[in-house]
Chain A
């Protein structure tokens, strides 16, 4: 039996969703972005809403998300994705609109846009990938960088007195009445990825039911920025990120947990 005998449609047990393009991912091996992309696209595919979905890519590592996601997408200025998505959702109320943003984009430069889109309860989905560092620009400190964590702009570790505490954006927006669903997930194991996918699906269902804003934080790794192997970074994430950014639902059906 050679390879061609095995690679037959009837033998196939798993394939990547057709909503992911064949473009090679630009993410570092071991990075969580690929999984997060894939889960999002799987949900859109399974819900059969790809023709009615418009994605908004941020500035950061996932700026090129539109190269990988095989749907219509627009790319926003740094931090402004929630404003861009607001306008699309307001002028196309029947569409599914989501933003895909990193921690620098969403929790630093775009704080105002994030909070106000949430406060207005825009009927959109925000997927927020938090890896505690600025990946694309080469490992600078993010608003979510943990205390003592080293980065190229906190080379001796984040010091709370001068640099402030890591920002819990997710808890912050959960307190706004316009926000319907808030959860924090991760995608570093199959088990976690399955839960994250459920959360993403729940979020897009909320859009369908016009429930308002759904906010999904995905705590992820940045093995390059953290200067670790992928495995080490996942272990480090479990031991250090999760205690500060605990996984689980924060607000469900408009009610805080």
Chain B
């Protein structure tokens, strides 16, 4: 029987990592995700499962430690928050280029710069449009509950090893800091080194035995070889779109108006949909669970059914671009979102839906403290 607990998102993620049989975690503290490494250090995972946990000297060192352990086929992860993820991007690009499986968690806070420690979804572009240098993408999972913070760890590693590619769990300060009921999975054993070698001997650097030596690198000085590598990556991303796209539809069957939101915004938007329905407005919610791959076709289809779409994000307008690309101008698409660490309320979202979509009228910037809408 699995265990029921009240936990913070960050703690649930850390506990799930131990239970999923993760081999190593390398991290560096930053608000609002420090509970991940604090929890791991308190839980003595080295004793529980043999999992290695190390506080690195920087986010840069941490992601390169991830690269090192991933090179050997170990199940390895790191977590950070926005400014720290910016530092990790070099390493993330290397992981993608060298085709290594790894899980990176971003508990997003507001930016740019040092920004704020309050929740935000302003790292959407950074997460789904590359972020680091070169032609690569990350498979991006966006949890919307503490339960998903826990569940997505295993899902992320499954994808990471299926494609030998880095996977990003894109959370935010709200999901990381809130507590909810969480059903924890049973402890999985870490795989033995013998089993690891059996599974990954074709590529992992575990010591050259009676085989050709394995080399992990992202370097191809010959342009044709490098192009072939890029094509190989693109093929993986195509396959992800075909086989591993995830989304959730809430009240969409008879919806006349659609809200698109992910992560914490999806939770708040769901309440806005409830409030709208109470008022007789037929609103629905499409919640992308993966941000790459993105539910483009689903949105394209829904655009035939609804009169307008509101993209709700805790940022100044990022995912709205993908919504627009997906619906190909079939219906009006608008953005609503608070920034700076302010969380929009369900009432604000409903108001934006009515004013920006239903009334087709752009509201002017209001100076009132609680209802200023960009």
Q: Check A-B contact in the complex, CB < 8 A.
A: yes
Bound complex: CA A142 to CA B197 (Å): 40
Number of interface residues of B (CB under 8 A): 38
Bound complex: CA A87 to CA B54 (Å): 9
Return chain A residues, CB-CB under 8 Å to B94: 77
Instruction: Kindly identify, within residues 5 to 60 of chain B, every residue whose CB is under 8 Å from any CB belonging to chain A.
Output: 23-24, 26, 52, 54, 56-58, 60
Minimum Cβ distance to chain A for residue B160 (Å): 16
Which among A74, A80, A95 is the interface contact of B215 at CB below 8 angstroms?
A: A74
Known: A51-B207, A72-B207, A88-B69. A66 touches B57 (CB 8 A): no
Bound complex: CA A176 to CA B209 (Å): 35
Q: Is the CB of B57 within 8 A of A116?
A: yes
Q: Is the CB of B67 within 8 A of A77?
A: yes
Return chain B residues, CB-CB under 8 Å to A232: none
Is B258 in contact with chain A by the CB < 8 A criterion?
no
Binary B-proximity of A71-89 (CB < 8 A = 1, otherwise 0)? 1111111001001111110
Q: How large is the interface on A (under 10, 10 to 19, 20 to 34, 35 or more residues)?
A: 20 to 34
Please report the number of residue pairs spanning A and B whose Cβ atoms sit closer than 8 angstroms: 124
Known: A83-B56, A84-B67, A86-B68. A75 touches B217 (CB 8 A): yes
Which among A64, A73, A91, A113 is the interface contact of B52 at CB below 8 angstroms?
A: A91
Is B65 in contact with chain A by the CB < 8 A criterion?
yes
Name the CB-closest residue of A to B193.
A92
Q: Is the CB of B65 within 8 A of A73?
A: no
Bound complex: CA A63 to CA B219 (Å): 9
Is B90 in contact with chain A by the CB < 8 A criterion?
yes
Return chain A residues, CB-CB under 8 Å to B66: 87
Known: A77-B91, A113-B61. A51 touches B209 (CB 8 A): yes
Q: Is the CB of A86 within 8 A of B65?
A: yes
Return chain B residues, CB-CB under 8 Å to A76: 64, 67-68
Return chain A residues, CB-CB under 8 Å to B54: 86-87, 90
Binary A-proximity of B196-231 (CB < 8 A = 1, otherwise 0)? 000000000111110001111111000000000000
Minimum Cβ distance to chain B for residue A218 (Å): 23
Is B71 in contact with chain A by the CB < 8 A criterion?
yes
Bound complex: CA A64 to CA B72 (Å): 19
Known: A54-B72, A87-B69, A91-B69. A72 touches B64 (CB 8 A): no
Is A35 in contact with chain B by the CB < 8 A criterion?
no
Q: Is the CB of B207 within 8 A of A87?
A: no
Q: Is the CB of A72 within 8 A of B61?
A: no
Name the CB-closest residue of B to A85.
B68
Return chain A residues, CB-CB under 8 Å to B71: 54, 74, 84, 88
Q: Is the CB of B213 within 8 A of A72?
A: yes
Is B153 in contact with chain A by the CB < 8 A criterion?
no
Instruction: Kindly identify, within residues 43 to 85 of chain A, every residue whose CB is under 8 Å from any CB belonging to chain B.
Output: 50-54, 56-57, 63-64, 66, 70-77, 80, 83-85
Return chain B residues, CB-CB under 8 Å to A71: 207-208, 213
Is A108 in contact with chain B by the CB < 8 A criterion?
no
Name the CB-closest residue of A to B58.
A112
Is B335 in contact with chain A by the CB < 8 A criterion?
no
Is B76 in contact with chain A by the CB < 8 A criterion?
yes
Bound complex: CA A97 to CA B218 (Å): 20
Q: Is the CB of A75 within 8 A of B216?
A: yes
Ordered by A's residue number, 23 sampled pairs between the chains whose C-beta atoms are within 8 Å are A53-B207, A54-B207, A70-B213, A72-B205, A72-B214, A73-B215, A74-B68, A74-B71, A75-B216, A75-B218, A76-B64, A76-B67, A77-B94, A83-B62, A86-B68, A87-B67, A88-B205, A90-B69, A91-B23, A91-B76, A92-B193, A112-B61, A116-B57
> What 6 pairs between A and B have smallest CB-CB spacing?
A87-B68, A84-B68, A80-B64, A87-B65, A72-B205, A116-B57
